[in-house]
Structure 1
Amino acid sequence: MTDYSIMRELSFSIRDEFTRKPIAEKIIKLLDSDIDVSPMIIDGKWGTGKTEFCFKLKNLIEENNPNDYKVGYVNAFQADHANEPLLTLIAEVASFYDEKDDKRKDFIKNAVPYLRLISGIGLKAGLGFAFGRYAADIPDALADGMEEIKDGSKSLIDQSLESMIKDQVEAEKNLSTLKEALKKIASTTPVILLIDELDRCRPDFAVMMLETIKHVFDVKNVQIILITNAEQLKATIKHSYGSETDSHSYLYKFFKYQINLPTTIKDVEGRSIENNVTYFKVTVQASRVIPQDFKDNEFIYDISKFVKIAHLSLRKVEQVVRCIETLIIFEDNSKSKNPEVEQLLIVFLSFAYIANKNLFEQIRDRNIQVTDILKFSSSSEEIYLPNDQSILENFPTKFFILLILHGLSKDDFIHTTTYDGNMDYHISRLVEHILKDFDFIQESNSTYHIVNSSYIYKYIDHTINNLLLFDIVK
């Protein structure tokens, strides 16, 4: 579960493992420019760190704020039970000012007629959520919904049919009054509203929020940024309006800009690295459970680079690390034969457990399908020694894992080929080299695989049993 109290304090100076500060700076340049960029979408898949980026962006805007922006954050998912998106947004704007500030009083007073019109009797339920933080504005209305707000404003809950008809007739007037109030309050202090988690909301509420943004908040000096999963939002629109709806066209009639959060970063050599690979190392390093010698084993980080985890969200990567931490807690270090090798197996099996349950079960049953292990390890074809020795030289961790799993497969996928010279000696040197890299003593004279009697396979069974002991990913 996201800890918003921690999130609110985050800044790019604290951590920026995905190098996203330049993106935030470009967004701020757009907001500062004369280009009409609002409403704007910041698009990212689930689990890509959108909420964290949102708070970092908010804090960066406020850190250097020559335009005196008032920056608000709205968690749409927390608000959708109240079913009043406009009330939620109005309450956030009101929160910018002290309860005794005349701007606040006037703004709420001008918002009330339109709020009553669009909300009707349902407004009473929404008040507790939206204005709960600002009880000084409407202290008694939360109790019975029939008291006045400040200087004799009309009742927030008016069940009179006559009054509702009158409000309907004056709808456009009330909307204009509200927009003028927004325009007035933003004329001296421009407003930026960051709306997060809309992709997790009920479809009807999400659509209501979009319509509210379009019809009410299209006001000068009020800029709206939606931080969301655009594809999920399109699915929400289809759910509300039918599968035949052109959800793409519908969605983008609301927005002028879309910023896409990258899922990769460049390393020092210019190669693309998936964010979840970077996040894995960061999360392991930050763990208070994983011992330092485990963290210092550079081979464990290679595993996240070659196993198929591109589809994993950052939350799933956290679950992988939680598996690793749990296995470490369960370990009896006095029985360890080779910590470095055992650490590799802990990491690999944790990734398999979270990312590929089918392969994990195959390893458990000692019945690995060659195509599955090669696919999961990003290997396009079988390995032929000694001709394919480059895999050993360039990807020693990958080769070692494949060498171990080779013994659990019914079919050979590490083969020997004809070689001019002493073939057995050459292969033996390859294997000796890889085993030496991992400080592992081979337990037989086999030249191209680890024998089935090796303690490694007993250790794999032990680790799998520990992973299956609890449903530790929930």
Structure 2
Amino acid sequence: MESNTSHWKNDLLQRKQASIFLQNIIDTRNKNSLDKNAICMAIDGDWGTGKSFFIDKWSETLREDGRCVIFFDAWKNDLSDDPLIGFISQINSGLKDWIRKIKGEETVPDKIKSRATQIFTNAAHAIIPLGKEFIKHNAMKYISNEGTQIFANISSNKNADDSNIFELKSEHIEKYFDAALKTHEMQQASIETLTRDLEYIAEGLSFIDIKPPIYIFIDELDRCRPTYAIKLLESIKHIFNAKGICFILATNINQLSQSIKAVYGGSFDGRAYLKRFIDYEYKLNYPDNFSFCAHLFSKSFLSNHPRLFSGITGSEYQDKPSDVLADIANIFQLDLRSINQIFGQVEAAIASISELEEIHCLYIFALAAIMHKNPKIIDELCMGSFKRIPDLDTMISGNGREFIESFRTNQISRITTETTTIKDLIVFYQYISTDLEQSDINSILSEDSRYRRQILQRVYNSKSAHKLIKSYPALLRMAGSLESN
């Protein structure tokens, strides 16, 4: 399989090769004539691993390759009590054009054409509800209204008077159960018919030069109500289990397992339950922080901000703002969700600053990380002027990435080197954010450290620049009161 590169141009988490690998597995499995069932594959990943992006780009690539693809967002359809209504509707929309093409192709056998056109009638019969409301409705054909209510009370575990129960004549009960049994048998027959209809459609695709299977992508399953997710999974297993169909589920397996336990009880093995439905599980690995931060910037207005200064620039290092965020995440040991949270807070803070003003990324991201770790410190920075950040050493791991600076010493004419770290720069930013005496400024400007000189010159080049950098803690504190979902 060759994957279209254009769909993956923003594949900052490097998922393209995984889609090629998985599709080869599916195509090989589908060719196996002995396998009579649908294929069900789960794309498993925690928050931030890019599940939705992955299946979105994979499905786009399949469509462009001419494959039959249906996409169902389970979370958006969670409003319905019955997931099959929305699911059948989406399959109807997705297959309509393909069925039309199959009907119009002369080489397609008449039986396949006929079965393809009957699929949605059979689908409706296959999802006839057999719950209490259905029973209550059909019981009315055979027993009195009063008896129907008694029967409904019994089925819902309500106490009923024994004398009333005997008013239900045995012949009426027999007729009632006979009707329920016939309806159940009809439903089972319709399910088997629907399964065969789907297989005929998948077979019909080969007559119009479309390579099976039919891909049905289901996203956001783990975000749904547990009862909704369970019913949808059981429908996939029992109603749509047809050869030539491949389900791709994007979910968090552990989270979905916990949801299932919430329905069936704490001792229920939700993980084992899911294995009944899923043939393959593919675990999306965590992206490295540099890839993840680049992904965040690619979706943000900050990617086009004209005046973002990383704080780490020079002939050897031309770090992007996203790299600075990754450096901060590494030194403060932030997980992906925490990185996303502090990025959102920095976005909110910067949104209130004029684009004419320069943003010092290293300092503002460091302050956001500090606020995430210990909000009280930001409160202290807002209330007073601190030349050092309180408890910085307890919040960070090591000194962060090192930058080697080369320069001539003042004493003798030779080249020497000095190491500057991320921590050094954070400490320096905090120091110069205070009101320095001119003698302090002159002392820094006489240093050989290119980074410190450059940062100082940018901060003190105007009163507005220095005033702005002093306002970062207050802006971030306000942004921290804003929650984004």
Task: Please tell me the TM-score bracket, short chain as reference.
Answer: 0.5 to 0.7
**Are 2:398 and 1:379 equivalent residues in the alignment?**
yes
Question: What does 1:200-219 align with in structure 2 at a 5 Å threshold?
Answer: 200-219=223-242
Question: What does 1:68-467 align with in structure 2 at a 5 Å threshold?
Answer: 69-95=67-93, 96-98=95-97, 105-118=117-130, 164-189=180-205, 190-265=213-288, 273-283=289-299, 287-288=303-304, 290-294=305-309, 298=319, 300=321, 301-307=323-329, 308=332, 310-313=334-337, 320-331=342-353, 339=358, 342-353=360-371, 357=375, 360-361=378-379, 363-364=381-382, 373-374=392-393, 376-379=395-398, 396-404=421-429, 432=449, 434-440=451-457, 462-467=471-476
Asked if the contact 1:327/1:466 (under 8 Å) is kept, the reply is yes
- Which amino acid in structure 1 is aligned with residue 350 of structure 2? I
Amino-acid identity (%): 24
- Partner of 2:39, secondary structure, is coil
Aligned to 2:39: 38
CA distance in 2, matches of 1:72, 1:433: 56
Give unmatched runs, 5+ long, in structure 1: 1-9, 123-159, 266-272, 382-391, 409-426, 444-453
Instruction: Note the C-alpha offset of 1:193.
Output: 0.7
CA-based RMSD = 4.3
Alignment CA distance shift 1:199-1:332 (3 Å): closer
- Which amino acid in structure 2 is aligned with residue 107 of structure 1? I
Mean alpha-carbon deviation: is it higher for 351-360 or for 37-46?
351-360
Asked if the contact 1:39/1:257 (under 8 Å) is kept, the reply is yes
CA distance in 2, matches of 1:168, 1:378: 63
- Which amino acid in structure 1 is aligned with residue 90 of structure 2? E
CA distance in 2, matches of 1:428, 1:436: 5
Asked if the contact 2:128/2:187 (under 8 Å) is kept, the reply is no
Q: TM-score, normalised by structure 2?
A: 0.64
Asked if the contact 1:114/1:174 (under 8 Å) is kept, the reply is yes
Q: TM-score, normalised by structure 1?
A: 0.66
CA distance in 2, matches of 1:89, 1:437: 59
CA distance in 2, matches of 1:117, 1:63: 38
Higher-Rg member (1/2): 2
CA distance in 1, matches of 2:348, 2:293: 20
CA distance in 1, matches of 2:333, 2:298: 16
Instruction: Note the C-alpha offset of 1:34.
Output: 2.6
CA distance in 1, matches of 2:24, 2:340: 33
CA distance in 1, matches of 2:454, 2:243: 64
CA distance in 2, matches of 1:368, 1:119: 69
CA distance in 1, matches of 2:133, 2:364: 57
Asked if the contact 1:198/1:206 (under 8 Å) is kept, the reply is yes
Alignment CA distance shift 1:319-1:56 (3 Å): same
CA distance in 2, matches of 1:394, 1:281: 29
Alignment CA distance shift 1:456-1:331 (3 Å): closer
- Which amino acid in structure 1 is aligned with residue 13 of structure 2? F
- Which amino acid in structure 1 is aligned with residue 453 of structure 2? K
Q: Aligned match of 1:22 in 14, 17, 20?
A: 17
- Partner of 1:33, secondary structure, is helix
Aligned to 1:47: 48
Give unmatched runs, 5+ long, in structure 2: 104-113, 135-175, 206-212, 314-318, 401-416, 434-443
Instruction: Note the C-alpha offset of 1:407.
Output: 9.8
Aligned to 1:148: none
Alignment CA distance shift 1:167-1:48 (3 Å): same
CA distance in 1, matches of 2:297, 2:277: 39
Instruction: Note the C-alpha offset of 1:353.
Output: 4.4
CA distance in 1, matches of 2:291, 2:228: 31
